[in-house]
Chain A
Amino acid sequence: MTEDRETTLEVVGRPTARVDGTDKVTGRARFVSDVAVPGMLETRILRSPLPHARIRGIDVSRARAVPGVAAVLTGADLDGLDPYYGVAYKDQPLLAIGRVRYEGEPVAAVAASDAVAAEAALERIEVDYDPLPAVTTLDEALAPGAPLVHERLRPAGHFRDLRALRPVEGTNICHHVRRTRGDGARGLQRAEVVVEDVFTFPAVQHVSLESFVSIARWDGDRLTVWSGTQHPFPVRKELSEIFGVPAHRIRVIAPLIGGAFGQKCYAKYEPLAAALARAAGAPVRVWVSVTDAFRTLTRHPARIHMRTGATRDGRLVARVVRAWLDTGAYADVGPRVAGKVAYLSIGPYRWEHLDVEAFAVYTHRVPAGAFRGYGAPQAEWAGESQLNRLAAELGIDPTELRLRNLLGQGEPYDPTDRPIDGDLPALLRAAARGVGWETPPRPGRGRGVAVGVKDGGGAHSVSASLVRLHADGTATVHVGSVEMGQGPRTVMAQITAETLGLPLEGISVQEPDTDLVPYDQGSSASRSTALAGTAVHRAALDVRRQLLEIARRFFEAPPDVVTLAGGAARAGGRIATYAELIAYHFGTPGGELIGRGEFHSGERDPGAPGPTAFWELGAAAAEVEVDAETGAVRVCAYASATDAGRAINPQLCEAQDQGAAVQGLGHTLFEEVRIEGGQVQNAGLIDYRVPLADDLPPTFTAALHQDGGGPGPFGAKGVGEIGIVMPAPAVAGAVAAATGARVRDLPLTPERVWRALRAADGA
C-alpha cells in the first residue's frame, strides 16, 4: 500500500473525543440490552447441578402449563437442527443432549411473556439425572483410564490454523503443540545455571458489566439476531450451519456492547435464542445474568512446568516448557490458546535451544475460552517470573538481565515469523524509570519488572470496508468492527477524516450489521484499528483517488496540483466543495462516491515470514509493600509502557493500557473462579472480587511509545491486550524483591504470600 501524500496529520494522533461520548454520558447510548423488539419474550435457562451425568429424562409438562409460557425446549427438542457448535470442534450442544458435562450447562430453556412467568416455569421442570464419574482437575483428566469428556470429536473447520488439530486419541487432550529449536535438553545440560518451577494460573472471569444478551426473531425463513457479540460474521456462519439457513437470510446486528474482553467471541447464546424464537413463534431475548456468565466461560487455568538455563554472566541459553491448559467441557478456542502458550512461553529473547509443548485438556468444568490476550498472561506469568528468579540467583538486576537478552527491533522472534517490530529495551527502560528504578526503594518495599509480547491481530483474518461519500460531502463508513468500549467507531471516523480531508462531524460509522457492512472476521486479538482499520483506510483512499480524478477534470488541472482538505478540493487558487464535485461528476446534485477496501492476512508478499500481523509489545514495573503479619500485598506504584506503533487516538490507546493493567492486577492479587468438585464456588459479584476504584495504585502511569512500526494505517498497531500480561510477573517479582518470598501460584492472596514468607524465612 502506498500512502499518496506525506503531510502533517490533522486528525490522527490528535486529542479527539469519542464519537459515542455524548450518547454514553446522557443515557442515550443504545446497548444490546436496551434493544426492545416488539413482542419480544423473556427467557430463562435451567442449568445442570452436576458436573457429569446422564440425563434419564426431563418432564416439562408442568412448565408448559404455566400461563404466559410460549416454549420450553430441551435437548430432545432440537430435531431438524445440527445442534452442535464450537470454533475448534463442534462439541457443544446448544442444550445438553442426553448428557451434561459441567455444572451450569444449559439443560432446558423457557420463553415466556415475562421473566416472572419464565422463572415460574423453570421451577416446574423436572430432570432425572444419573450421576457419572467426573474429571474436574487436570490431574484427574490426565490420569490413565480417566473417563473421557468426549468420545468423538468433530473438527469445525472454521479457521485455517485450527484445521491442524492434534488431539491425543483415547485421552482428554484435544490438542497439543510442540515447538523446538536446537536441543532443549542438551541446552539445559550445558547451561551453567538452571532454574525450574511449576507455575499455575487460575480460572478468571471477564465480568463484562453487560452480560450475554442475544435477541432472535424469525420472519418466515429469515433470521435476525441482535447480539452482544465481538464476531457478527462468525456467529452468522455458525447459525447458518446449525439451522441450515444460507448466510443471506441471516442478519446479525451488534449494537453497543457493555464490555466483552473476549467473552463474547464466536457463538455463545445466539443459537439458543434462535432455537427458542423458532419454537415460540415469537422474538425472544436471552439475557444471561452476570452470575451465570461464570457458568458460561472463564480464562483457561494453566499449569506450566518450566526450566530455563543461562550462563553465569546472564546469557540465556535454553528453555524447556510443558504447559497444560484446562479447557473445560467444551474446547471453544482452547486449541488456539495452547498454541499461544507454546509460542509465547518462549519470550522475546535470544535462545539457542528451545523445547516447548502445550496441551489443551478437556475436564468436566465450565468451558474456558477467549479472554484478553489469551495464552499470553499464562505463558508470561511463568516465563517472566522465571527470569525474575534467575536474575536473583545470578545476582543480576532483573532489568539488566533482560536487556542483555532481549530481541531488538528487526530481530526474529521465530525464524518463520515477522521480526520484532518495536523497541523492547526502550519500553523496559521507560517502565523501570516509571517507578524510580534508578534509586533504591524505601525499606520494606520491593520492585519488579516484566516484559510482555503477544502476536497481535490473529492469524489468517479478513476485513473489508466501504466508505461512501454522499452528495452533500459527508461520509458513512461501513465496517464490521464492534464497539465494546475500545473505540473503533471513533478511530475509523478519524482514519476516514484524515484520508478524505473531512471534519469528524461529517462522518458516521455504521453499526455492525451483517446485512449492511462487508465481511469482518471480528473484533478480537487487538485487530480492529490495525487490520479492519487498514480496510477502512484503503476504502477512504479509493474515494480519495476518485475525488482527485474528478477534481482534475473539474479544474482541468494536472493531478499533482489538486489538494483535498476541509471538505473541498483546491487547485491554483480555485476551490470546489466535494458536493460540487459529486454534482459535476454525475451531472445532477445526487449520487455518491463509493470506495472499497480490504485487508487479508494472506496478502503480504509470499516471502514475508509467518502469520503474525504485528507484535504487541510492552513492559511494566511495580513497587509493592508486603504486610509481614498478614501477607497482604499493596501495590504502591505501577508503570507500564506500550508500543502503539502510531496512536490514531492516543487517549484511547492509553485507556486500553490502563484498563488492561488494572484487569491484570485483578488476577494478580485476588481474582480466581474457585471450582471444587466441578462446582463453581464463587459465581457472581458478591463472591468474586474484581478491582474497585480504591484498588488503583497511588502511582499509576501508562506511557505510549510510537515508533510507527505497525502494519496498520499511519503505522498503527493494536494495543488492547498487552497491558494485561505484565502485572502478575512484575508484582510477584516485586514481592520477592521486598521479602524473598516467591509465589508461583496466582492470585497472590495474603495466605499464599504469608506461606511463602514462612518458607523463605525457613530457608
Chain B
Amino acid sequence: MEAQGASARPVVEISLTVNGRPHTLAVEPRETLLDLLRMRLGLTGAKLSCDVQVCGACTVLVDGLPVSACTYLAYEARGRQVLTIEGLADGEGLHPLQQAFIDHAAFQCGYCTPGMILAAKALLDEIPRPTTDEIKHYLRGNICRCTGYKKILEAVLAAAETMASRHG
C-alpha cells in the first residue's frame, strides 16, 4: 500500500436513488455515504460531527430507516432509496416537521437539525402519535448541544398533531 495515490485507488460502480433521483457512481470501498452525498452530489444538508455514529448529525434515511451516514458505506446503499433533508420538503411546501421546527425555535445553530428532523420523521413514520417519553427515547441518538431539547420535543409533538389531523 506504499505510495497510495489519490487517483490510483480502486473503485466500484453502484446505483442508488437519492431524493427520488437515480444516480450511478463509481465509489471507493471505504467511501462513506456521507462523503458521497456531500462531496459528490453537493448535498451538504447532512452534517459531519462526531464521525463515530454517536451524534446523529449525519442522519439520513435509507429505505425509510435512519442511518449514520458518517459510518455507513456508500457501497451499502447500492440499490436503495436515500432521503436527505434536501428531499424532505415538497417543492416550496415545507414538511410539517420542518414547519414545526421553525415555529417552535427548535434549533439554534441548526447543525443538528437536518439529522434531528429526519430521525423525527422516522419516528413519526413508525409511531404517528408518540408520547414525550417515546420522543426523548427515540432521539437519544441525536445530540443537540444548543437547545437543551425542550423545544425539539415540542416541535415533534406539534408536527405529529399536524400530520395526524391531515390524515383525518
With A33-B47, A116-B9 as given contacts, are A659 and B148 in contact (CB-CB < 8 Å)?
yes
- The reply on A229 being an interface residue by CB < 8 A is no
Shortest CB distance B107–A (Å) = 6
Contact B148 A209 (CB under 8 A): no
Residue pair A209, B55 in contact (C-beta under 8 Å): yes
Complex Cα distance, B151 from A651, in Å, reads 10
A508 at the interface (CB under 8 A from B): no
A27 at the interface (CB under 8 A from B): yes
Given A26-B86, A658-B150, A693-B149, residue A67 in contact with residue B109 (CB < 8 A): no
CA distance in complex: A155, B119 (Å): 49
Residues of B within 8 A of A34 (CB): 38, 44
B147, A659: Cβ atoms under 8 Å? Answer: yes
B57, B102, B136, B137: the one within 8 Å of A209 (CB): B57
Q: A210-B47, A257-B109 are in contact. Are A67 and B8 (CB under 8 A)?
A: yes
8 Å CB contact of B98 from A26, A113, A256, A690: A26
- B47 and A67 contact, CB distance less than 8 A: no
Contact partner of B146 (CB less than 8 A), chosen from A25, A66, A485, A696, is A485
A480 to B45, CA, bound (A): 25
| B109 with A210: CB separation less than 8 A | yes
Closest to A34 in B: B44
Q: Does A3 count as interface, using CB distance less than 8 angstroms?
A: no
Bound: A28/B45 CA distance, A: 7
**Across-interface contacts of B117 in A (CB, < 8 A):** 25
CB of B104 to closest CB in A, whole Å: 8
Measured in the bound complex, the distance between the Cα atoms of B55 and A207 in whole Å is: 11
Instruction: Give the secondary structure class of B's interface.
Output: loop
Give the residues in chain A near B140, CB-CB below 8 Å: 692-694
Count of chain A residues with a beta carbon within 8 Å of a chain B beta carbon: 66
* B108–chain A nearest beta-carbon distance, Å: 3
**Residues on B with beta carbons closer than 8 Å to the beta carbon of A18:** 102, 105
> Contact mask A275-294 → B, CB, 8 Å, 1/0?
00000000000000111000
Selected from A20, A114, A259, A484, the residue in CB contact (under 8 A) with B6 is A114
- Contact partner of B108 among A27, A66, A211, A487, CB < 8 A? A487
Chain A min CB distance to B85 (Å): 4
Q: Which of A202-237 contact B (CB under 8 A)?
A: 206-211
The interface of chain A, by Cβ under 8 A from chain B, is 17-18, 20-31, 33-34, 65-68, 112-114, 116-117, 120, 206-211, 256-261, 289-291, 484-487, 651-652, 655-656, 658-663, 684-686, 690-696, 700
Bound form: Cα–Cα A180–B46 in Å = 53
Whether A17 contacts B103 by the Cβ 8 Å rule is: yes
Quick check: A27 and B86 within 8 Å, CB to CB? yes
B74 to chain A, nearest CB (A): 14
**B79, CB-defined interface residue at 8 Å:** no
User: How many whole Å from B154's CB to the nearest CB in chain A?
Assistant: 11
- With A67-B3, A258-B109 given, is the CB distance from A686 to B52 under 8 Å? yes
CB atoms of A210 and B6 under 8 A apart: no
Query: By the criterion CB–CB under 8 Å, are A27 and B85 in contact?
Result: yes
B50 touches A684 (CB 8 A): yes
Q: A25-B101, A26-B94 are in contact. Are A208 and B43 (CB under 8 A)?
A: no
A33 in contact with B48 (CB, 8 Å): yes
Chain B positions within 8 Å of A, measured between CB atoms, are 3-9, 38, 43-52, 54-55, 57, 84-86, 88-89, 94, 97-99, 101-103, 105, 107-114, 117, 133, 135-137, 139-140, 142-153
The 7 A-B residue pairs whose C-beta atoms are closest, nearest first, are: A27-B45, A258-B111, A485-B109, A485-B108, A662-B148, A24-B110, A27-B85
Which residues of A are found within 8 Å of B48, using beta-carbon distances? 33
Q: Would A24 and B6 be within 8 Å (CB), given that A209-B47, A259-B146 are in contact?
A: no
A259 contacts B105, CB within 8 Å?
Answer: no
Q: A209-B109, A658-B147 in contact; A684/B47 too (CB < 8 A)?
A: no
Known: A686-B54, A692-B143. A209 touches B6 (CB 8 A): no
A692 to B117, CA, bound (A): 16
A660 CA / B146 CA spacing, docked (Å): 8
Q: Which residues of B contact A658 (CB under 8 A)?
A: 147-148, 150-151
B45 touching A684, Cβ below 8 Å: no
**Given B3, B43, B108, B114, which contacts A659 in the complex, CB threshold below 8 Å?**
B108
B68 to chain A, nearest CB (A): 12
Enumerate chain A residues within 8 angstroms of B112, measured Cβ to Cβ. Answer: 209
A67-B6 contact in complex given A33-B47, A209-B55, C-beta closer than 8 Å: yes
Decide: B145 and A261 in contact? CB cutoff 8 A. yes
- Residues from chain B with a CB closer than 8 A to the CB of A661 are 148
* B109 lies within 8 A of A256 (CB): yes
Q: Which residues of B contact A30 (CB under 8 A)?
A: 44
CB of B152 within 8 A of CB of A693, answer yes
B6 A690 Cβ-Cβ under 8 A: no
Partner of A31, one of B50, B102, B111, B143: B111
- Bound-complex Cα distance A573 to B146 (A): 49
Residues of B within 8 A of A33 (CB): 47-48
Residues of B within 8 A of A17 (CB): 102-103, 105
B49 touches A210 (CB 8 A): yes
Residues on A with C-beta less than 8 A from B136 are: 693-694, 696
**How far apart are the CA atoms of A228 and B31 in the complex, in Å?**
26
Smallest beta-carbon distance B139→chain A, Å: 4
Separation in Å of the A698 CB from the closest CB of chain B?
8
Contact, CB under 8 Å: A209 / B94: no
CB distance from A673 to the nearest CB of B (A): 15
In the bound complex, do residue A655 and residue B105 qualify as a contact, i.e. CB atoms below 8 Å apart?
yes
| Contact with A22, one of B4, B94, B144, B152 (Cβ below 8 angstroms) | B94
